[in-house]
Amino acid sequence: MEKLSCNASTSELRFEIGVITGDKTFIEDAIKQRTLEQDLLNEVCIPSMLARLDLRQKGYKQ
């Protein structure tokens, strides 16, 4: 897991790793990182990420 976190530089990638591995730390870090990336932050971004997480947990694939 340590190696993954070193290589996961974007919030999107960290979020995907968190969803795939089920590691809440990656998901929380991705959301925190996204709030620091003001150019990428908008009203839809975080709810969209959480909605995708919910769909993945229910067994749907992208």
Q: How do residues 7-55 score in pLDDT, each as one tens digit?
A: 567 778 888 888 888 888 888 888 888 777 666 555 556 677 777 777 6
Q: Is there a domain that residue 24 lies in? A: yes
For residue 46, what is the enclosing H or E element? helix 45-57
pLDDT at 4 over 60: no
Q: Is there a domain that residue 62 lies in? A: no
Question: Tell me, what's the pLDDT at 60?
Answer: 60
The distance of Cα 48 from the centroid of its chain, to the nearest Å, equals: 10
Q: Is there a domain that residue 36 lies in? A: yes
Question: What is the tally of structural domains in the chain?
Answer: 1
Q: Is there a domain that residue 19 lies in? A: yes
Range of the domain at 16: 2-57
Helix (H, G, I), strand (E, B) or coil at 18: helix
Residues in the chain: 62
Q: Is there a domain that residue 42 lies in? A: yes
